[in-house]
Amino acid sequence: MESTVVTRSAARARQSASTVSSMGSLSAAEASPKRKLEPDSADASILNLPSLSPKRTKTTSFAKHSRFWALDGNVILQFDSVAFKLHRSRLSTQSVWFEKLFEKRAGREERLEDDEQDIVDVVVEDLDGTDVYHLEGVLKAVDFEALLTAMDEAIDYFYDPPPFLTLTAIFRAAKKLKFSRFEAFTKKYLLRWFSDDLELVTTDPVPHPEEAVELGRECNLPRTLKRAFYEILRTAPAPDGGDDEASDEGQSEPEWMDGWDKMDILNLNKAQKHIAAEWQSALVDPKLSASCHIKDCGSSRRGATMKLIGDTMQKYPLDPICGLKALNDVRWSTHQSFCKSCATRQRKFFTDKRSQIWNDLDRWLDIPDEEESEQD
C-alpha cells in the first residue's frame, strides 16, 4: 500500500485551496498556498498555535476585532478573546509603554518605571511571523477600543467631545499605556466636567458621579472627587457605612457601591452628617442675632428671617452649597427691610459658611491635594 506523507505546508495549501473553493472566485495570488491563511470574519477567526513564551504556555485563540484589524498590520494585541491587528510604529510613537514593550521584545532592555513593571509579565507568541502580545490583565478591551477610536477621530473629538463614560474609558487606557497626548486631552474635559471650583456648582446635577469617584481613586485624579462626592451627597441620604444592625433591617449599600473602598463609604456618611450640622447652624449663628441700632431695620425681626432660612433649608435639604447661594442672593435690603450694614453682614455670613463647607469637604472625604497625589 502506498502511503502519503502530508507536510504542514501541504496541509496549509490544501486548506487554502478548500477555502478558495468555498468562497468562489478569487485571484491566483489570493489562492496561492504561500499566502498566509487569515480568518475572513469574527466567527471564522479562531487560530490555535502553541506558545513560544518560556514563562508559561498559552494558546492563541481569538476573534479579530470588527474594526481594528489592519490587513497590513504587523502586530497583534490580544485581550482575552478579542484581538487587534495594528501597526507597531504608530503605537510606539504615541505610547511610551508600547515603545518599551516592543524594545523588550527586540532584546533591547530599557529601565522601567514603577507603573511599567507589568511589561515584564506580557507573554508574546509568534504567529506566522507576527508577534501576538497577550495583554489580559493590563487593560480592558473596551477601554483600548475607545482609545483607538479616539486616535482615529481626534479632530472630531476636539470640536465635539464624546460622552463622559467614553472619556473615562479613553483616559484609563491612555494613562495606563502612556499615550500622553490623549491622557492630557481627556483629563482636561474630565476636570471641567467635575470641576472643584465652588462657583461652578449649580442646581443642575452632573451625571455619572459614581463612575467619577471610581475614576478619581483608581487613576489618581483627586480634583474630580469633591464634586463627584457632593453630587452623590446631595442626591440622596448617604449609606449607613456597613453597620451590621442597619444591614439586618434591610438597609444595604446601593449596587453602584460594589467594589468601593470601605473608607469612602464611611467618609460619605460622615460628610453628610457634617453637612447637616453646618446647614442647621445657619439658623442659630450669633452673628445673625446681633441687634441693630437703626430704627426699623428688618434684622430685628428675627421671626421673618428664620422663616426665610427655614424655607430655603426645606427646598435644599441635602444641598447647602446651593441653599446658601440662594440665601446670599436674597435682596435683604428690599425684601427684608435690612439696613445696608446688616444686609452686607447677612450676605457675608452665608458666603463664608458656603466656602467653609466646600473647603471642609476635602477633610471629611479624605481627598488628597494634587501635590500629595502626584507624590504617591
Residue 283 confidence (pLDDT): 78
- The amino acid occupying position 33 is P
pLDDT in the model for residue 373:
53
Q: Residue 281 pLDDT > 60, yes or no?
A: yes
pLDDT at 66: 94
- Give, for 130, the enclosing helix (H) or strand (E): strand 130-134
Residues 6+ apart with CB under 8 A from 250: none
Pairing status of strand 130-134 against strand 75-79: parallel
Per residue in 136-169, pLDDT tens? 989 999 999 999 999 999 889 988 999 999 999 9
pLDDT of residue 240: 64
Q: What is the pLDDT of residue 371?
A: 53
Residues with Cβ within 8 Å of residue 235, at least 6 apart in sequence: 205, 209, 318
Per-residue pLDDT tens digits for 294-343 = 878 887 777 888 888 899 999 999 999 999 999 999 988 888 888 888 88
Q: Is the dihedral of CA 298, 301, 302, 308 positive or negative?
A: negative
In degrees rounded to 5, what are phi and psi of residue 25?
-80, 125
Cell numbers that stand for 349 in this block: 455670613
Question: What type of residue is 190?
Answer: L
Instruction: Provide, rounded to the nearest whole percent, the portion of the chain with pLDDT above 70.
Output: 75
Q: Which residues of 214-253 are buried (b: 16+ CB within 10 A; e: fewer)?
A: bbbbebebbbbbbbbbbbbbbeeebbbbeeeeeeeeeeeb
Parse the chain into domains and list their residue ranges. 1-37, 63-138, 286-363
The pLDDT of residue 39 is above 80:
no
CA gap 239, 59 in Å, rounded: 45
DSSP letters along 89-106, please?
Answer: HHHHHH-HHHHHHHHHHT
Longest dimension (CA), the chain: 125
Q: 89-133, pLDDT tens digit by residue?
A: 999 999 999 999 999 999 998 899 999 999 999 999 999 999 999
pTM assigned to the model: 0.76
How do residues 178-226 score in pLDDT, each as one tens digit? 999 999 999 999 999 999 999 999 999 999 999 999 999 999 999 999 9
Predicted local confidence at residue 34, as pLDDT: 40
- pLDDT for position 276: 92
> What is d(CA 61, CA 81) in angstroms, rounded to the nearest whole number?
7
| Residue-level pLDDT at 345 | 86
DSSP state at residue 219: T
How far, in Å, CA of 344 to CA of 290, rounded?
13
Question: Quick count: other Cβ atoms within 10 Å of Cβ 212?
Answer: 24
Q: 284 or 81, which is more confident? A: 81
Write the DSSP string, 21-42.
HHH----HHHH-TTSPP--SST
Task: Kindly tell me if the per-residue pLDDT of 33 is higher than 70.
Answer: no
pLDDT confidence bin for 18, thresholds 50/70/90 = very low
User: In terms of Cα–Cα distance, which of 263, 214, 216, 218 is closest to 239?
Assistant: 263
| pLDDT tens by residue, 234-278 | 987 766 655 544 444 445 666 767 767 888 889 999 999 999 999
Distance linking the first and last C-alpha atoms of the chain:
75
Question: pLDDT tier at 13 (50, 70, 90 boundaries)?
Answer: very low
Whole-number pLDDT of residue 337: 86
Per-residue confidence band for 374, with pLDDT thresholds at 50, 70 and 90: low
Say which residues have a Cβ less than 8 Å from residue 129's Cβ, sequence separation at least 6: 36
> What single-letter amino acid sits at 113?
E
| Grid cell of 370 as nine digits | 494634587
Report the distance separating Cα 6 and Cα 14, nearest Å.
Answer: 10
Alpha-carbon gap, residue 73 to 199, rounded angstroms: 49
Q: How many CA atoms lie within 13 A of 365 on its CB side?
A: 28
**DSSP bridge partners of 127:** 130
Q: How far is CA 236 from the centre of its chain?
A: 22
Query: At residue 207, what is the residue type?
Result: P
- Provide the residue type at 23 as one letter: M
Which residues are within 8 A (CB) of 256 and not within 5 positions of it... i.e. 6 or more apart? 210
Rounded to 5 degrees, what are φ and ψ at 132? -115, 115
In tens, the pLDDT along 215-226 reads 999 999 999 999
